[in-house]
Amino acid sequence: MTLTPFHIAVPVHDIAAARAFYGDLLCCPEGRSAPEWVDFNLYGHQFVVHLNRAMTVKAHHNPVDGHDVPVPHFGVVLAMDDWNALAVRLKAAKVAFVIEPYIRFKGEAGEQATMFLLDPSGNALEFKAFKDLGQLFAT
């Protein structure tokens, strides 16, 4: 099966803050935009932020591997080298992680590197990489 790019749109309370976070910090190239929305290239996927000044995020977490994982969240599965480079860049930028970069399910099926952070509007993101991408859906 050939993977195709996904499309996701999320609300943000401030377009300038979203541009700084997604464009500058995460290095996502910007595509089309208007005063109330911006397209970003998030590792080959079409990611769009839409302005909602009144937005609020209701915090919810579920336990996974001894950590409180924020729900909802979204993100990208990266190659391990890309994940490591992103983790180094985010740590150097002194990002406040929800869950610090670490290896989840170590030695088990689906072993993966993962990290969670929030954008300036409180949207939770997870970036992960698998020791063996063939175990993406391992049980």
pLDDT digits (tens, 9 = 90+) for 61-118: 999 989 999 999 999 999 999 999 999 999 999 999 999 999 999 999 999 999 999 9
Same domain, 75 and 41: no
Q: 104 and 83 in contact (C-beta within 8 Å)?
A: no
- Total number of domains in the chain: 2
Strands (E), 1-139: 7-12, 30-34, 37-42, 45-51, 61-64, 67-70, 73-77, 97-104, 112-118, 124-130
Average pLDDT over residues 43-51: 97
Average pLDDT over residues 122-130: 96
Percent of the chain with pLDDT over 90: 85
Q: What is the pLDDT of residue 3?
A: 80
Q: 41 and 31 in contact (C-beta within 8 Å)?
A: yes
58 or 90, greater pLDDT: 90
58 or 52, greater pLDDT: 52
Same domain, 66 and 32: no
Question: Which residue range(s) make up the domain with 18?
Answer: 7-51
Other Cβ atoms closer than 10 A to 90: 19
Same domain, 128 and 99: yes
The answer to whether position 43 is within a domain reads yes
Same domain, 130 and 69: yes
The answer to whether position 1 is within a domain reads no
What average pLDDT is seen over the chain?
94
Residue 58 in this model has a pLDDT that exceeds 90: no
Same domain, 65 and 40: no
Q: What is the pLDDT of residue 17?
A: 97
The answer to whether position 2 is within a domain reads no
Q: Model pTM?
A: 0.91
